[in-house]
């Protein structure tokens, strides 16, 4: 089998589904890649798209997606609950099979330069591809969001790695980089008090002394009227779903509220779900080799 690379672009459009479909068509029409999943959130005003394939084909599809997204999305009028800085907000490349992280980093740099040149858009490399340690964390790059980017990129420490001479207010800026798989995970609470969700997010997020590989924020989902703890588990082998869930539930009880439900956005590694089953079912000496599908795929 050929090398396999995954790409999970996040675009700043989750309300106009006709636009989302046109952007996703950039993936559907590219030979050598497979569209795995895409989902849109009206409150976040954001869509997450997942596809994979042969590395060069993935890079081609990612560039096509960026071109369509920057044509259809106008960041100067964008509003939404999720932090964002560009029409394509983040473009991670994730090595899956027979491609190293070093090779993925090199491909991400070529893709970043192509996006900057062909989409008239500023690009900053992040995660494993970052050009400096302080640029690794997406939250630091995106701090202040779209509204401050035109001024922020003039600062020496935040000058983009690629892009035009002038900030493009329609397209904004995108972070491109190689990284390991992560899990986008949301937990909804039985309250509309967003302060509770924000307090809980501060307890679990790494920046505030919580779980090392957890990025979290609290927000209100207007469609459901529920406060939500929204997070990325950037290394789910170390910061597991079940431990984060237990901590959020415990903290929620302190405020007299409960967890109503949770959701995974996009795809999730099977191991993360198996680890959750092992923990809650107290399975002894269970391994991935006991999963039927694992044996079928051998």
Among candidate residues 82, 134, 253, 280, the one labeled active-site is 82
Residue that is written with structure tokens 């090595």 in the block:
95
Q: Where are any strands of DSSP class E within the chain? A: 4-7, 10-11, 33-41, 46-53, 88-97, 122-125, 173-178, 183-189, 214-221, 226-233, 259-265
255 CB neighbour count, 10 Å cutoff: 16
Active-site annotation holds for 253:
no
Judged by DSSP in three states, 25 sits in helix
Query: Residue 144's closest CA among 229, 84, 220?
Result: 84
Range list of H helices, 43-169: 55-72, 101-119, 138-142, 146-152
Q: For tokens 């986008």, what's the residue?
A: 184
- Residues annotated catalytic, as ranges: 82
């Amino acid at each position: 089998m050929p090398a396999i690379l995954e790409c999970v672009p996040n675009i700043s459009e989750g309300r106009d589904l006709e636009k989302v479909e046109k952007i996703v068509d950039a993936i559907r029409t590219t030979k050598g890649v497979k569209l795995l999943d895409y989902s849109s959130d009206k409150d976040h005003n954001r869509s997450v798209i997942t596809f994979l394939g042969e590395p060069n084909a993935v890079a081609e599809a990612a560039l096509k997606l960026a071109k369509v997204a920057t044509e259809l999305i106008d960041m100067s009028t964008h509003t939404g609950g999720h932090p964002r800085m560009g029409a394509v907000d983040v473009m991670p490349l994730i090595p899956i099979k027979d491609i190293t992280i070093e090779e993925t980093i090199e491909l991400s740099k070529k893709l970043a330069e192509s996006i900057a040149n062909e989409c008239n858009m500023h690009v900053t490399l992040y995660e494993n591809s970052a050009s400096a340690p302080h640029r690794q964390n997406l939250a630091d790059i995106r701090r202040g969001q779209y509204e401050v980017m035109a001024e922020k990129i003039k600062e020496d420490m935040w000058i983009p790695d690629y892009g035009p001479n002038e900030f493009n207010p329609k397209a904004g800026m995108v972070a491109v980089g190689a990284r390991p798989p992560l899990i986008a995970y949301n937990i909804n609470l039985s309250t509309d008090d967003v302060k509770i969700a924000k307090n809980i997010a501060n307890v679990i997020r790494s920046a505030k002394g919580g779980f090392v590989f957890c990025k979290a924020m609290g927000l209100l989902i207007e469609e459901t009227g529920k406060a939500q703890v929204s997070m990325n588990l950037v290394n789910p082998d170390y910061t597991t779903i079940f431990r984060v869930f237990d901590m959020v539930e415990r903290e929620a009880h302190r405020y007299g509220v409960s967890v109503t439900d949770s959701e995974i956005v996009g795809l999730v590694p099977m191991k993360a779900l198996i680890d959750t089953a092992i923990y809650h079912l107290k399975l002894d000496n269970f391994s991935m080799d006991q999963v039927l599908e694992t044996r079928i795929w051998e």
